[in-house]
A and B are shown apart, each in its own frame.
Chain A
């Protein structure tokens, strides 16, 4: 496929560091769009603030780069007004689950028909490596110089508990899976989340002696466990592992379908 067809070529090369996984996720998104044959005019990509949230600037869609953590709120308004648009939100772990955590869980509860792709790199990349809600306990960050005392979120489980219709996790190394999950998420008529684990060598890898992009991806390759296999493993065995796979895939009415029912009722009553 021709990635360049979807890119704003004059904005390239992108700002992401060498070995940053963000570009790999963007490629997966574009491959799926290409496969599904979606028209560029029919796609809106919405983001907050962060390295990951710079994605919309590079793609030739209707693109909206909002405030830190708020992308889902903007996307909700856009989707309601323009229900035929494919609205894709891209977000970082900090953007989606720290400052934007409230919007994230409520959008899942509401089951508004959006796909949120979370680039989880365990860190605040853009601002220089401060701890994020997914930084594991004990890992170093610029604001956790002695090791992080905070416990991390499991974003996929959070989305599941909040009521999302589709939730899956992959890593940038596992491109095939990432493509498959993104495709399923795009086709889901409800709130869908794909969490992709991605290396941030600059702000996380180096500080935690996890190496460069290649080494961090090697780690993903060796330490990912499918969700079915993980179920048969003990807590100890799962230490330090990345559990990948589809966590939720269910059919339930989405917000707009339920609002259509509201319209029907309101019209009956007000006849």
Chain B
């Protein structure tokens, strides 16, 4: 099975600007009613662009290898 990155969105801090939705090169997100929805996590390449561009410190992306090791 393909390892997938762990993406979390802090809805308390998210201001719904959609920057993550529009700039993710793999179109991982869809915009939900208020917050982005992680619609296609399996497509994520862990480039972290969304994390870097989120002005509100609301996204954390943990790449698959780290996500795995964190489980232990």
In-complex A–B contact (CB below 8 Å): yes
Which residues of A are at the interface with B, using a C-beta cutoff of 8 A? 3-4, 7, 12-14, 16-24, 27-28, 31, 172-173, 175, 212-214, 217-218
A175/B55 in contact, CB under 8 A: no
A214/B56 in contact, CB under 8 A: no
B19/A13 in contact, CB under 8 A: no
B13/A175 in contact, CB under 8 A: no
**Chain B at the A interface: mostly helix, strand, loop or mixed?**
loop
Which residues of B are at the interface with A, using a C-beta cutoff of 8 A? 12-13, 15-19, 22-23, 49, 52-57
B49/A213 in contact, CB under 8 A: no
A13/B55 in contact, CB under 8 A: no
Find the A residue at minimum CB distance from B53: A24
A17 to B53, CA, bound (A): 14
State whether A24 and B52 are in contact (beta carbons under 8 Å apart), knowing that A4-B57, A13-B15, A17-B15 are contacts in the complex: yes
A30 to B34, CA, bound (A): 28
B22/A12 in contact, CB under 8 A: no
A13/B13 in contact, CB under 8 A: yes
A214/B17 in contact, CB under 8 A: yes
A50 to B50, CA, bound (A): 26
B52/A27 in contact, CB under 8 A: yes
B56/A23 in contact, CB under 8 A: yes
- Residue in B16, B19, B54 with the greatest tally of chain A CB atoms within 10 Å: B19
- Please indicate the chain B residues that have their CB under 8 angstroms from the CB of A214 in the complex: 17-19, 22-23
For residue B50, give the distance in angstroms from its CB to the closest CB of chain A. Answer: 11
A23/B55 in contact, CB under 8 A: yes
A173 to B53, CA, bound (A): 7
A175/B53 in contact, CB under 8 A: yes
For residue A161, give the distance in angstroms from its CB to the closest CB of chain B. Answer: 32
For residue A58, give the distance in angstroms from its CB to the closest CB of chain B. Answer: 9
- Please indicate the chain A residues that have their CB under 8 angstroms from the CB of B49 in the complex: 175
